[in-house]
Amino acid sequence: MNGRSDVTSHPVGDGSTPVVEVRSITKRYGSIHALHEINMKLFPNEIVGLVGDNGAGKSTLVNIISGALEPTSGQIYVSGREVSFKSPSDARDAGIETVYQDLALAPDLSIWANLFLGREEIVRGPLGWIGWLDRKTMMQRSVGDLERTRIRISSVTNRVGRLSGGQRQAVAVGRAVAWGSQVILMDEPTAALGVEQQAKVADLIKNVAGNGTPVLLISHNIPQVYEICDRILVLFHGRIIAELRPSETHVDEIVSWITGAALFGAKANA
């Protein structure tokens, strides 16, 4: 068996140790300084919004935490222990699940196969050394996983390549929720969704966080971020320039940090 866990049975930390912490993360792509000395903590039960304009560095930060990119410098800690990820599977083994901006689904595979990609259930043969894929179990679990996302989807045997953008997004979110045991990182999980589906994903995120698993949510949908996040971090040219709490801010103020107007004063609005 692998590390599959149920959304409803996540252990909740003691609240004092961050589930994930990054310290002084810097990333350079040649001469481009994409991230400067980023410090961030994610605590149990939190939904943390990560917002910023196009190119601010949001995906770069998520890709570093999810093992898809190596930082130029800095450290990552999971439950207080320093980790060094060489690949996304290292991060997944540490309980970090990610819905990538490009979704990272395999279009030629079925919905259920995508949900189990890289973590297939194997039935052991009689001698224990031969095994085969337990398709029936995986298909049954896939139905349950997608039911939990409360997003209506066609049969789990359909190929992902035939789904709409929004349905693909539902599969990607469903996969993260089904497997995420420590933290879920979401890079624009609602970008391609209709209004009703966006609301369902928002409920799903609240549900996941309510069960203990912190969610880092990247989104350009500022009203939604304002509505569902406990804290909002604003990235501007690779630096976190503001940490806002919805109870102490409003949508216009968040936007003015994103555009830099709040940094540079009224002139930046002109």
Ligand X SMILES: Nc1ncnc2c1ncn2[C@@H]1O[C@H](COP(=O)(O)OP(=O)(O)OP(=O)(O)O)[C@@H](O)[C@H]1O
Name the residues that contact ligand X, by CB under 6 A.
Answer: 29, 32, 34, 52, 54-60, 101
Chain residues 41-70 in contact with Mg ion, contact rule CB under 5 A: 59
Q: CA-to-CA distance for 67 and 255, rounded, in angstroms? A: 30
CB atoms within 10 A of CB 262: 20
**Neighbouring residues of 191: CB distance < 8 A, sequence distance ≥ 6:** 101, 169, 219, 220, 221
Minimum distance, C-beta of residue 187 to Mg ion, in the bound complex (Å) = 6
Which residue's CB is nearer to Mg ion, number 17 or number 101? 101
Tokens 């800690």 -> residue: 77
Which residue's CB is nearer to ligand X, number 20 or number 113? 20
Amino acid sitting at position 101: Q
Q: What DSSP state is assigned to residue 255?
A: H
Minimum distance, C-beta of residue 115 to ligand X, in the bound complex (Å) = 25
Q: Angle between the 195-210 and 165-179 helix axes, to the nearest 10 degrees?
A: 10
Minimum distance, C-beta of residue 102 to Mg ion, in the bound complex (Å) = 9
Minimum distance, C-beta of residue 127 to ligand X, in the bound complex (Å) = 47
Residue 55 binding result from Mg ion, ligand X, none, given CB thresholds of 5 to 8 Å by partner type: ligand X
Residue 54 binding result from Mg ion, ligand X, none, given CB thresholds of 5 to 8 Å by partner type: ligand X
Q: CA-to-CA distance for 58 and 196, rounded, in angstroms? A: 26
Q: What angle do CA 99, 69, 58 make, to 5 degrees?
A: 55
Minimum distance, C-beta of residue 57 to ligand X, in the bound complex (Å) = 4
186: nearest Cα among 49, 85, 89? 49
Residue 29 binding result from ligand X, Mg ion, none, given CB thresholds of 5 to 8 Å by partner type: ligand X
Residue 52 binding result from Mg ion, ligand X, none, given CB thresholds of 5 to 8 Å by partner type: ligand X
Chain residues binding Mg ion by CB under 5 A are: 59, 101
